[in-house]
């Protein structure tokens, strides 16, 4: 923002103290050209969440598997951010700051400073269709966004809850054609917000868009998740998702995640453990302003190496969830939603209950 303020100040000074008219016009044109490359985005969403069964709805307690709306029976600010983007034909940069429940939810106490940063990265163009970006940036794994207005539903799926979050590292991307794009990434293991930043992860991202109505994306990561232990735990996380739109009336999303990690089985620590999760989402546009969406999602983590003993248990985790929601959009950049969700687990994660029924009201705006 300091650069933006300086440019504005310089523009005002030149306007108030004219010199040679031709020189002044050239300077103004140059400044206007630079200013056109800046884009400022602001976003905010709020929620009210209520669990039907009060026994496991303790006040001021974060409920697990609730990336969106972690608190019960309270009006809360889920996410608010300001993001400034700059891009021309040679360089680009993103700087954003955020606040709310979501940024704080999955951030360890000793690294809470990172909750305020949404993005902090910059890039340079290496070739006609090749970019190199460095810094803190979104992870391409998973189709669900942390920004609710970009999703069909505000609540996040079970698999989305455990997927890698933003990363700190380097990304080399190339556009092979208008239909095929690819990226190679190297970054701190899993996430900057995790306990393991000494190990590094190598990842690939492939995005195929044969038409405006269809998107297919594949992501694969590989690295050591031993977190400083003597035993190496090589982890492979694979994610594939597609999105299809039919006549701008029906939208369908499907996603599958598969992860394998060495030396991680619960019964035999020398063997490989596996995790699988997925989701399917269907949205029907009742009218230009009303949508109805449904989602089914599940996760199976028999050795708990991904779920890491959620709820204080080291048992295997199997769970599924079904969500139904209605959305009203008076304008493209504003939404109002009501959702009903049922989650079922093979563990009693909610005060001696193995299921959770929840109703969620949410609204947001993006400028």
DSSP SS3 for 118? strand
Q: In the block, which residue shows the tokens 């080291």? A: 314
Check if the beta carbon of residue 173 is closer than 8 Å to that of residue 131: yes
Check if the beta carbon of residue 149 is closer than 8 Å to that of residue 366: yes
CA distances from 47 to 65, 128, 154, 339, 358 (A): 16, 44, 9, 11, 13
pLDDT of residue 238: 96
CA angle 307, 309, 314 (to 5 degrees): 130
Q: In the block, which residue shows the tokens 């687990």? A: 345
What one-character DSSP code corresponds to residue 202?
A: E
Q: In the block, which residue shows the tokens 């208008």? A: 178
DSSP SS3 for 110? helix
Structure tokens at 104: 């704080």
DSSP SS3 for 306? coil
Q: Number of helices (H) and strands (E) in the chain: give both, helices first.
A: 4, 16
Characterise 266 by phi-psi region: left (phi > 0), alpha (psi -120 to 50), beta (else). alpha
CA distances from 51 to 63, 344, 350 (A): 10, 14, 11
Characterise 218 by phi-psi region: left (phi > 0), alpha (psi -120 to 50), beta (else). beta
Rounded Cα distance, 59 and 71, in Å? 8
**3-state per-residue secondary structure call for 220-275:** EEEEECCCCCCCCCEEEEEEEEEEEEECCCEEEEEEEEEEEECCCCCCCCCCCEEE
* Partner residues linked to 127 by β-bridges: 130
pTM of the predicted model as reported, rounded to 2 decimal places = 0.86
Q: In the block, which residue shows the tokens 């995005």? A: 207
Greatest alpha-carbon pair distance for the chain in Å reads 81
The pLDDT profile of the chain, 367 residues, written as one tens digit per residue, is: 455 555 544 454 445 445 555 555 666 666 666 678 899 999 999 999 998 876 555 555 677 788 888 888 889 999 999 999 999 999 999 999 999 988 877 665 556 667 889 999 999 999 999 999 999 999 899 999 999 999 999 999 998 888 887 888 999 999 999 999 999 999 987 554 444 557 889 999 999 999 999 999 999 999 888 766 678 889 999 999 999 999 989 999 999 999 999 988 888 888 999 999 999 999 999 999 999 999 999 999 998 888 876 655 567 889 999 999 999 999 999 999 999 999 998 887 777 778 889 999 999 999 9
pLDDT of residue 13: 47
For 294-320, how does the pLDDT look when each residue is reduced to its tens digit (9 = 90+)?
999 999 999 888 887 665 556 788 999
Rounded Cα distance, 158 and 349, in Å? 14
CA distances from 68 to 41, 56, 273 (A): 21, 18, 28
Domains of the chain: 38-366 (2.40.160.10)
Angle separating helix axes 2-16 and 21-35, nearest 10 degrees:
160
For 39-86, how does the pLDDT look when each residue is reduced to its tens digit (9 = 90+)?
999 999 999 999 887 655 555 567 778 888 888 888 999 999 999 999
Rounded Cα distance, 259 and 1, in Å? 40
Structure tokens at 102: 């979501």
Rounded Cα distance, 301 and 161, in Å? 13
* Partner residues linked to 123 by β-bridges: 92, 133
Rounded Cα distance, 347 and 350, in Å? 9
pLDDT of residue 91: 96
pLDDT of residue 336: 98
């Amino acid at each position: 923002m300091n650069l933006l303020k300086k440019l504005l100040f310089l523009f005002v000074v030149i306007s108030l103290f004219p010199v040679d008219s031709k020189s002044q016009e050239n300077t103004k044109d140059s400044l206007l050209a630079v200013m056109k490359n800046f884009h400022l985005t602001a976003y905010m969403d709020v929620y009210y969440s209520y669990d039907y069964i009060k026994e496991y709805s303790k006040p001021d307690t974060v409920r697990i598997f609730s990336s969106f709306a972690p608190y019960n029976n309270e009006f809360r600010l889920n996410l608010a951010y300001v993001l400034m983007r700059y891009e021309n034909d040679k360089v680009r940069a993103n700087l954003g700051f955020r606040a709310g429940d979501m940024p704080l939810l999955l951030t360890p106490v000793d690294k809470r400073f990172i909750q305020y940063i949404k993005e902090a990265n910059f890039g340079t163009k290496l070739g006609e269709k090749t970019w190199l970006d460095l810094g803190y940036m979104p992870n391409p794994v998973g189709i669900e966004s942390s920004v609710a207005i970009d999703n069909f539903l505000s609540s996040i799926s079970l698999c989305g809850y455990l997927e890698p979050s933003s990363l700190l590292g380097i990304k080399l991307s190339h556009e092979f054609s208008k239909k095929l794009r690819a990226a190679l990434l190297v970054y701190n293991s899993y996430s900057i917000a995790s306990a393991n930043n000494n190990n590094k992860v190598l990842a690939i991202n492939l995005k195929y868009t044969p038409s405006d109505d269809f998107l297919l994306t594949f992501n694969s990561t590989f690295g050591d998740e031993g977190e400083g232990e003597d035993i190496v735990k090589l982890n492979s996380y694979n994610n594939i998702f597609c999105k299809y739109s039919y006549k701008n009336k029906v939208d369908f999303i499907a996603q599958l995640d598969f992860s394998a990690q060495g030396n991680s089985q619960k019964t035999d620590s020398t063997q490989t453990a596996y995790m699988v999760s997925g989701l399917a989402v269907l949205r029907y546009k009742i009218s230009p302003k009303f949508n109805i969406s449904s989602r089914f999602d599940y996760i199976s983590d028999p050795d708990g190496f991904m779920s890491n003993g959620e709820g204080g248990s080291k048992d295997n985790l199997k769970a599924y969830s079904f969500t139904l929601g209605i959305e009203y959009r008076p304008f493209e950049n504003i939404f109002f939603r009501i959702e009903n969700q049922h989650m079922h687990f093979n563990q009693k994660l909610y005060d001696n209950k193995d299921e959770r029924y929840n109703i969620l009201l949410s609204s947001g705006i993006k400028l």
